[in-house]
């Protein structure tokens, strides 16, 4: 039998993009008509008419199905939902805003057929991002690459093809605090990277503002790195050595000069500095403990409200 292809598309307020996305996907997938395929939209608690638009499209495209989550669980949870429901021999993940060009799919399939378990797409540039966002992205990957136990390639996002064996392995990783890019890297498998040009959004604006990007970056750092904890350990050692050296200086000065050194300002500076460092360290430690607390609850990563149609049919 010809290999079955699953396309997983997480959606959040993508009403204006779905029709154009399915039109281009249909052209591309029809060009590889020897392969059976399905397209799965994952609605992640959209506030617009994304669900209604997707249901209308399921009547036009028989290979299309919609998984509606009960609320907004975040893109990472929506990606896992797509993996759980995909039935293909390979699964392609892409965004709904057409920044991930469907025309790259034939090349991804070709590389997969050559033996790659994962075909990851690397963006050539960040011209679609603002200067601040591009700088923060570079800084984040630089920090993460130095502190993570696994290598997370830069400029490689969720746009990728994964073999069935990879999907089955990723399904086993049910952590609630998810950083999927790190999970991809941790899982390993034979990975090939191809380049693609990121397009402008077809419509709408990205829901990933700087606040959400900060939380996303923090999830990545705390999920795959102990750098924050290690940093405060080193800072504590440095502060202790500086305090010891300063203490020797004060004693030596008092012995040699025969008088006490007025020290109220320096004492206050030291107390406030060390107090701030301690509070920051406690905050970092609390963040890790809080994540452990959340994981021990063993709550499901997502909940499904409805599936349209009830039994999705592939083509």
Cα dist from 152 to 36, 83, 180, 206, 300, whole Å = 32, 21, 11, 23, 26
User: pLDDT (tens digit, 9 = 90+) per residue, 274-290?
Assistant: 776 777 777 777 777 77
Confidence tier at 203 by pLDDT (50, 70, 90): low
Tally of CB atoms within 10 A around 51: 19
Q: What is the mean pLDDT of residues 67-93?
A: 89
Closest CA to 9 of 175, 202, 261: 202
Predicted local distance difference test score (pLDDT) of residue 313: 42
Confidence tier at 10 by pLDDT (50, 70, 90): very high
Chain length of the chain = 315
Dig out the tokens for 273 from the structure. Answer: 């500095």
Predicted local distance difference test score (pLDDT) of residue 41: 93
| 3-class state of residue 188 by DSSP | coil
Q: Please state, rounded to an integer, the average pLDDT across all residues of the chain.
A: 77
Q: What is the mean pLDDT of residues 4-21?
A: 88
User: pLDDT (tens digit, 9 = 90+) per residue, 85-114?
Assistant: 988 888 999 988 888 888 888 888 888 888
**Residue 57 near residue 64, CB atoms below 8 Å:** yes
Predicted TM-score (pTM) of the model is: 0.70
Predicted local distance difference test score (pLDDT) of residue 149: 64
Query: What is the DSSP secondary structure assignment for residue 96, as one 8-state letter?
Result: T
Higher-confidence residue of 283 and 15: namely 15
Q: At what angle do helices 210-224 and 264-296 cross, to 10 degrees?
A: 80
Confidence tier at 135 by pLDDT (50, 70, 90): low
Virtual torsion, Cα 94, 137, 14, 29, nearest 10 deg: -20
Q: What is the mean pLDDT of residues 136-149?
A: 62
How far apart, in whole angstroms, are the C-alpha atoms of residue 255 and residue 95?
A: 71
Confidence tier at 66 by pLDDT (50, 70, 90): very high
User: pLDDT (tens digit, 9 = 90+) per residue, 168-194?
Assistant: 998 888 887 777 777 888 788 888 888
**Residue 184 near residue 193, CB atoms below 8 Å:** no
The β-bridge partners of 39 are: 7, 64
Burial string for 85-115 (b: 16+ CB within 10 Å, else e) reads bbebbbbbbbbbbbbbbbebbeebbebbeee
Closest CA to 101 of 25, 163, 162: 25
User: pLDDT (tens digit, 9 = 90+) per residue, 218-258?
Assistant: 666 666 666 676 677 777 777 767 766 766 766 666 666 66
């Amino acid at each position: 039998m010809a290999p079955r292809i699953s396309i997983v598309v997480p959606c959040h307020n993508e009403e204006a993009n779905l029709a154009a996305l399915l039109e281009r996907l249909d052209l591309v997938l029809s060009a590889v008509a020897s392969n059976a395929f399905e397209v799965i939209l994952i609605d992640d608690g959209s506030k617009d008419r994304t669900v209604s638009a997707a249901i209308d499209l399921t009547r036009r495209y028989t290979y299309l199905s919609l998984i509606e989550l009960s609320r907004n669980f975040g893109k990472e949870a929506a990606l896992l939902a797509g993996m759980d429901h995909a039935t293909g021999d390979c699964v392609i993940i892409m965004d709904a805003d057409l920044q991930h060009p469907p025309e790259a799919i034939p090349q991804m399939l070709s590389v997969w057929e050559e033996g790659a378990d994962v075909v990851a797409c690397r963006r050539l540039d960040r011209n679609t991002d603002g200067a601040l966002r591009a700088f923060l992205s570079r800084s984040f990957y630089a920090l993460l690459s130095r502190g993570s136990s696994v290598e997370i390639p830069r400029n490689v996002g969720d746009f990728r093809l994964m073999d069935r064996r990879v999907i089955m392995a990723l399904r086993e990783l049910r952590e609630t605090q998810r950083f999927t890019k790190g999970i991809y890297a941790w899982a390993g498998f034979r990975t090939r990277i191809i380049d693609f040009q990121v397009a402008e959004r077809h419509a709408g604006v990205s829901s990933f503002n700087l606040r959400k990007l900060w939380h996303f970056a923090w999830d990545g750092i705390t999920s795959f790195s102990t750098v924050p904890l290690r940093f405060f350990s080193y800072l504590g050692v440095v502060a202790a050595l500086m305090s010891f050296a300063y203490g020797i200086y004060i004693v030596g000065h008092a012995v040699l000069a025969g008088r006490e050194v007025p020290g109220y300002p320096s004492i206050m500076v030291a107390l406030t500095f060390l107090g701030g460092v301690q509070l920051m360290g406690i905050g970092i430690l609390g963040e890790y403990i809080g994540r452990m607390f959340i994981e021990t609850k063993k709550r499901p990563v997502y909940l499904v409200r409805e599936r349209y149609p009830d039994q999705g049919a592939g083509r």
